[in-house]
Structure 1
Amino acid sequence: MLHSNTKSPSVGKTSLITQYIDKKFSNQYKATIGADFFTKQEVFDDRLVTMQIWDTAGQERFQSLGVAFYRGADCCVLVYDVSMTSTFKTLDSWRNEFLVQSSPRNPEKFPFIVIGNKCDLDNRAISENRARQWCQANGNLPYFECSAKENTNVELAFEHIIRVAIDEESAVSFFHKISDYFCLIRRHLAVRLLLVVFFLITHLRYIIREAFCSPVRLLLIGKCFLDVWTSDISSQN
């Protein structure tokens, strides 16, 4: 089960998802209210993968809802419109907000993917080189230029999303297995320690007697033998 989140208003997030899932595109714009939820199953590397895609609203008034959808995500997709500079400039704030709200185990290595949508438009404001420089400066993030309208690189971008999400899910699963293993070891050690303490408490008086009384007994017995032996010699003389 994989999760991804998409960002920024009116950049074509829903159109990208619809193109990927249904191979459809609509020119009618409808703002996302809160968040929309999509699922798609793919056979990837001989493995059936169920993608859960959360299409989050980009409007500022819905940002407080983010924490409910960010937690547990395996990948975050940052989408901007190549023809709108303002959407590109918000990538930093969206990325930081996601990390704060989701609290991933390893924030520095959490997988982000950047998509520059509407690359089919002639009036682009952000060059591909500028976008790639930003991605490189922010952890060498994967970057794709897509067109939901023309279905350009949409499949390629989502295939990469699946791959990095699977890697993230596997890493988290491995971390949990290691943690469970060490917890099991600690529990076994705690049980063994309790058994040792119980044994010491129940057998303490026997241990003390064996530790301190036995040598004394041997000494007394040895002295008795010595007394008897010297007495016999004296009587013979």
Structure 2
Amino acid sequence: MEGKYILKIIIVGDAAVGKTSLVRSFIQEKFKTEYLPTLGVDIYHKQLTINNKVVDLSIWDIAGQKGWELMHRNYFRGADGCIAVFDLTRIKTLENLKSWILKVREYSKPDIPCVVLGNKSDLKVAIEVTDSKIEKIMKEIGCTYYFETSAKTGEKVDEAFTSLVKSVINKLKPR
């Protein structure tokens, strides 16, 4: 294999949207039903091979609770890609993505590749968010990639993370 990438990916969104569960699903840990909020940041690692190149991912799971905002500048700095998550059963979490993306672009890079995930697709009867609302927010924040995911079932989780990684490496050269 030729070339290697070392990437920092941040995952942001309001509290309890499923960020940690999505990361755990991606790195092949088991889904946990109890909610334990992230305090500050948790960092996970995963190695992938994409287009015959090794990709070492450092995934920064950022706390979504109020009170951690002052640390965001430090956590976002140096990020190569961003996954922004909202909860399909809580419309306010979609509306709040605008401020998350603005902060990410301010503290990392204005053109940082970003993928938006509408999580908890397995809770079909409780879904509040409409496709038109998602399209409107996606246009407002300037993100083109969107996936409806379920950390619980694993639906589209690998596809979403891999899509972001491919988008990032298309902008970079091997390190």
- The normalised TM-score by structure 2 is 0.90
- How many angstroms does 1:154 deviate by? 0.5
Q: Quote the Cα distance in structure 2 between the aligned partners of 1:88 and 1:69.
A: 21
- How many angstroms does 1:23 deviate by? 4.2
Higher normalized contact order (CA 8 Å, seq sep 6+, divided by chain length):
2
> For 1:97-128, what per-residue CA distance to the aligned partner results, in whole angstroms no more than 9, with x for missing partners?
112222x2xx1x32111000001112111023
1:156 pairs with 2:143: no
> For 1:37-86, what per-residue CA distance to the aligned partner results, in whole angstroms no more than 9, with x for missing partners?
00000111101110110000011200111111111111111100000111
| Equivalent residue number for residue 120 of structure 2 | 118
Q: Quote the Cα distance in structure 2 between the aligned partners of 1:94 and 1:137.
A: 12
The residue correspondences of 1:5-16 to structure 2 (distance < 5 A) are: 5-7=10-12, 8-16=14-22
Task: Answer 1 or 2: which has greater helix percent.
Answer: 1
- Give the counterpart of 1:80 among 81, 86, 89: 86
> For 1:128-168, what per-residue CA distance to the aligned partner results, in whole angstroms no more than 9, with x for missing partners?
34213321343242100000001100011011011012123
Change (3 A) 1:158 1:92: same
Q: Quote the Cα distance in structure 2 between the aligned partners of 1:76 and 1:50.
A: 15
What secondary structure, in the 3-state scheme, does the structure 2 residue paired with 1:79 have?
A: strand
**Quick one: percent identity of the two aligned structures?**
32
Q: Quote the Cα distance in structure 1 between the aligned partners of 2:168 and 2:107.
A: 18
Change (3 A) 1:67 1:139: same
Task: Answer 1 or 2: which has greater strand percent.
Answer: 2
1:17 pairs with 2:18: no
What secondary structure, in the 3-state scheme, does the structure 2 residue paired with 1:54 have?
A: strand
Show structure 2 runs of 5+ residues with no match: 1-5
Give the conservation status (yes or no) of the 8 Å contact 2:115–2:143.
no
| Equivalent residue number for residue 4 of structure 1 | 9
Q: Quote the Cα distance in structure 1 between the aligned partners of 2:68 and 2:172.
A: 27
Change (3 A) 1:113 1:87: same
Q: Quote the Cα distance in structure 2 between the aligned partners of 1:167 and 1:52.
A: 18
The count of residues paired between Structure 1 and Structure 2 equals: 168
User: What is the RMSD of the two structures over their aligned residues, measured on CA atoms?
Assistant: 1.6
What secondary structure, in the 3-state scheme, does the structure 2 residue paired with 1:60 have?
A: coil
Aligned AA for 1:100? Answer: E
Which is higher, the Rg of structure 1 or of structure 2?
1
What secondary structure, in the 3-state scheme, does the structure 2 residue paired with 1:48 have?
A: strand
4+ residue runs over 4 A deviation: none
Give the conservation status (yes or no) of the 8 Å contact 1:74–1:169.
no
Q: Quote the Cα distance in structure 1 between the aligned partners of 2:140 and 2:95.
A: 14
What secondary structure, in the 3-state scheme, does the structure 1 residue paired with 2:126 have?
A: coil
- Give the counterpart of 1:53 among 35, 52, 59: 59
Aligned AA for 2:9? Answer: S
Q: Quote the Cα distance in structure 1 between the aligned partners of 2:153 and 2:76.
A: 29
Aligned AA for 1:115? Answer: L
The residue correspondences of 1:20-169 to structure 2 (distance < 5 A) are: 20-102=26-108, 104=109, 107=110, 109-121=111-123, 122-169=125-172
Show structure 1 runs of 5+ residues with no match: 174-237
